[in-house]
Amino acid sequence: MLHGSCLCRGIRYEINGELADALNCHCSMCRKAPGSAFAAGRGSAPPIFVC
Ligand SMILES: [Zn+2]
């Protein structure tokens, strides 16, 4: 199980199962959202958000 959170730990999540291969997307939306040349991502089963 993979655990994670935002930097202030206000939102925490858990992911069960294997992660898919990592990828960098260079489409216009993925360049605009972070303000960079690409956005990095990795597929997985839907996360479970923890209160
Ligand atoms: Zn994209």
Ligand 1 centroid from CA 35, angstroms: 12
pLDDT at 7 (0 to 100): 93
Q: 5-46 pLDDT, tens per residue?
A: 999 999 999 988 888 888 899 999 999 998 999 999 887 777
Cα(41) to centroid(ligand 1), Å:
9
pLDDT of amino acid 35: 94
Is-contact 15 34, C-beta < 8 A?
no
Ligand 1 centre from 42 Cα, in Å? Answer: 12
b/e code 27-40 from CB counts within 10 Å (16+ = b) = eeebeeeeeeeebe
Distance from residue 47's CA to the centre of ligand 1 (Å): 20
pTM: 0.50
**Predicted pLDDT of residue 28:** 96
